[in-house]
Amino acid sequence: MESSQRIFVVGLNHLNASVSSREKAVVSSQNLPEILAELKALVPLEEVVVLSTCSRVDVFAVCDDARRGGDLVREWFMKRAGAEIAPSLYQREGHDALLHLFRVAAGLDSWIIGETEILAQTKKAYQAALSLGFTRRVLNRAFQSAIAAGKDVRSATGIQNGIHSIGGATALMAKRIFGEKEGGGILVFGAGQTAEAVVRHLAAKKFDRIVVANRTVENARLIAEKLGGEAVSLDVGLDLLAHVEVAVFSASVSEHLLTTGLMARILAKRRKPLFLVDLGVPRNVDPACAKMDSVYLYDLDDLKRMISDSMEGKLAEKDRAEEQAAAAAADCILELNKAPRLAPAGVA
């Protein structure tokens, strides 16, 4: 069997699964080694990479029977997140699985066309699996080629024009909340890539005060100081909710940071509305907070709807990018199906 026919992917994403479905399937960096080992033992799989972001959870793998392997990974998803996610799952093999990977890396499967963050997330997912010994020749070649193609597609087309990151979209939402006036206070929870992108975009919008709250204050300081913001702990950040206009949540947590009980205590100290944007998967804010007076809560699905108009201008460029990604995927298939040889580790 040709190497390319042994690749498959099973996953769910923003196109067919709600935030509530995606957060049940999400894989954190802390339990990634355990999850990779668990997945590899299923068939057993020869190679496996898990790409888990706020918009998707994809399992890319290699085995002699891609259909059988995909079926078992599909069962794994339903065991992990519940049988109700079954209609949201997609399963692709061979050329279709490879093309999916190339489209993801190029930002063509993102709700923000040309999204920049997904390329870094794809590279990080691959390097994590590589460093733990879960990739070999096939996924090494596939991911290296897809990451390189993702860079090329963005540089050769205009899909990065306009909004091209969740950070930029969040800053736009915050600005719309404020209207045209400048100033105000913004509080960002988290110190990962998405949080840093949010802070970077907000810093350019001339808010009076930007505070970054994180469990590890030093990580928050690395982001805040270079952009003129302040760094605080999560507890201090939660206290500051009584004084800011907008709070953006993007922390890696296993349970809600902001509960209805805590929200009630915060509201008792406020005399104006509080706007919350929850980018977390799992969600950082209890959705029930949206029902409380003077609280306006937006999640990733709300953000997606808000910026859909800005995507229309990218459609012509998207067609060019789709053609380039498909050609790169076809080249990768030809390379994979040559006489086997060991692909070099790492990413250019």
CB under 8 Å, gap of 24 or more: what pairs does 283-287 form? 283/19, 283/23, 283/249, 283/256, 284/189, 284/249, 284/250, 284/251, 284/253, 284/256, 284/257, 284/258, 285/249, 285/256, 285/257, 285/258, 286/256, 286/258, 286/259, 286/260
Residues 11 and 152 grouped into a single domain: yes
In angstroms, rounded to a whole number, what is the distance separating the alpha carbons of residues 110 and 113? 6
* Number of domains forming the structure of the chain: 2
Bridging pattern class, strands 246-249 and 185-189:
parallel
Domain membership of residue 348 (yes or no) is no
Determine the pLDDT at residue 114. Answer: 81
Query: pLDDT tens digit string along 2-50?
Result: 888 999 999 999 888 888 888 899 998 899 999 999 999 988 899 999 9
B/e letters for 224-252, b = 16+ CB within 10 Å, e = fewer, are: beeeebbbbebeebbbbbeebbbbbbbbb
Domain membership of residue 210 (yes or no) is yes
Question: Is residue 138 predicted with pLDDT exceeding 90?
Answer: yes
Query: pLDDT tens digit string along 174-225?
Result: 767 666 555 678 899 998 877 887 777 777 766 778 899 999 999 999 988 8
In angstroms, rounded to a whole number, what is the distance separating the alpha carbons of residues 1 and 62? 12
Q: How confident is the model at residue 110 (pLDDT cuts 50, 70, 90)?
A: confident
56-62 β-sheet, strand order = 47-52, 56-62, 7-13, 90-93
Domain membership of residue 342 (yes or no) is no
Domain membership of residue 183 (yes or no) is yes
Model's pTM, two decimal places? 0.75
Domain membership of residue 341 (yes or no) is no
Query: In 63-120, which ranges are E strands?
Result: 90-93
Residues 76 and 189 grouped into a single domain: no
- Amino acid, res. 227: L
Mean pLDDT of the chain: 88
Residues 190 and 135 grouped into a single domain: no
By CB neighbour count within 10 A (0-12 exposed, 13-18 middle, 19+ buried), where does 302 fall? middle
**Is 54 annotated in the active site?**
yes
Residues 157 and 10 grouped into a single domain: yes
Residues 138 and 263 grouped into a single domain: no
Residues 295 and 317 grouped into a single domain: no
Residues 221 and 104 grouped into a single domain: no
Residues 132 and 24 grouped into a single domain: yes
In angstroms, rounded to a whole number, what is the distance separating the alpha carbons of residues 252 and 284? 8
Q: Which residue in 54, 63, 289, 332 is the catalytic one?
A: 54
Question: Is residue 342 predicted with pLDDT exceeding 60?
Answer: no
Contacts of 58 (CB under 8 A, 6+ apart): 9, 10, 11, 13, 50, 51, 52, 100, 104
Residues 170 and 289 grouped into a single domain: yes
Determine the pLDDT at residue 236. Answer: 96
Q: Over pLDDT 90: what percentage of the chain? A: 57
Domain that holds residue 285: 166-306
Query: pLDDT tens digit string along 211-261?
Result: 999 999 999 999 888 878 899 999 999 999 999 888 999 998 889 999 999
> What CATH number does residue 327 fall under?
3.30.460.30
Residues 301 and 317 grouped into a single domain: no
User: Could you tell me the two tokens for 148?
Assistant: 């390189």
Residues 55 and 138 grouped into a single domain: yes
